A and B are shown apart, each in its own frame.
Chain A
């Protein structure tokens, strides 16, 4: 899948003169600001380059938040479309990536809220989580993960994802932004619209809960 983007990236590199990395870590904030300035003047090729530079991080963030690839794809689209419309208001006070995380935060929360309203009164299929099914029951599904899951994720990833899924949205987001995306406390506070103290507190309790949920993993290390 990573190979697919190579063509698109090189195309952007030619168009803008800015090296476009597939990995978000390669994107330099200074280059971002230059591309943003061009995009603000209506240069679509520069905006295309910005999308290429940041789509991986935004998609990974949203996918880890909602655990649904198709919806994560759509929501990531929405982030970049909203970002384009809000681009005239973007000021270089924060990194462009932090600003995008902020939009992603709002998009995911709106989606979750809407989904909760739509699913009110419907059957909650979360009650069918494997953990809540009595393994001795005659109708219990066979255990073990799907072969494709096992191949693509690995056992630890599945365990961490399962533990993350049990966190509240706020706790999950703060862990993803801090420990996976590497944002600072200040940046997370900006993204989530919270105070620094709230972010610190959330991260502390989220890690404690994860530690408890992954107790076996911690002890085996």
Chain B
């Protein structure tokens, strides 16, 4: 007779978790111990009480909405990643990859030596220019123009100009002077027509 039971086995027996041979061999001893039998009955009674009082499953409020919110959150986020498949590298990759990396480095070095002494192209910070045909706005009727030359600016006052239609695209009215250097901070110089 085992008078010094395995504590872990006793705990499993008390919770009705022992099965098969373990259960048969342990129960033969445990059933001779009134205090253990009483303890197991007490645990069973407690489990019955609490499980009938606190439900193991309780539908969340608005269960359909619950599901749709979960699915919505999932679809809005990134898709679940596929399981990572660790592929064994092919034999040829083991020598070809370092070799091609070395060749790439050598090529980059050679290109660098060839281009080192060449004059650097002038960097112009503006959007690629496109050939724009200027649109000339011609006022209807008689217009009086007064031109005043200032020190740093010129003012042209036009009298009798009809309202400019909203459909006029002013982006096409600028004249781009390709001959002149463009300062990156000043933007394109334009001359009104």
Give the B-binding residues of A (Cβ under 8 A): 1-2, 4-5, 7-8, 22-25, 40, 42, 44, 47-48, 51-52, 55-57, 59-60, 63-64, 69, 72-73, 76-77, 80-81, 84-85, 87-89, 154, 156-157, 160-161, 164, 175-176, 178-182, 184-185, 196-197, 200, 207, 211, 221
Contact = CB atoms under 8 A, between A and B. Distances in A.
Interface stretch (B76-84, B111-119, B177-185): B76-84
A88 B82 contact: yes
Interface residues of B, number: 39
27 contacts: A4-B59, A5-B64, A7-B64, A24-B57, A25-B56, A44-B74, A44-B75, A48-B67, A51-B71, A52-B67, A55-B63, A55-B66, A57-B56, A57-B57, A60-B58, A64-B54, A72-B60, A73-B60, A73-B66, A76-B60, A76-B66, A81-B77, A84-B74, A160-B49, A176-B54, A180-B51, A207-B46
B11 to A, nearest CB: 5
Contact of B70 (A2, A56, A80): A80
Interface string B86-117: 00000000000000000000000000000000
Contact of B11 (A24, A63, A175, A185): A185
B147 interface: no
Interface of A is mostly: helix
Interface in B142-181: none
A46 B71 CA distance: 11
Contacts of B45: 221
A14 B84 CA distance: 32
Nearest to A44: B71
Contacts of B12: 185
A114 B32 CA distance: 51
Given A73-B66, A77-B66, A84-B80, A56 B53 contact: no
Given A4-B59, A22-B57, A60-B56, 17 more contacts: A5-B59, A8-B64, A42-B79, A59-B59, A60-B57, A81-B70, A84-B70, A85-B80, A88-B83, A88-B84, A156-B49, A157-B54, A160-B49, A160-B54, A180-B55, A185-B15, A197-B8
Contacts of A44: 71, 74-75
Contact of A156 (B53, B56, B64, B82): B53
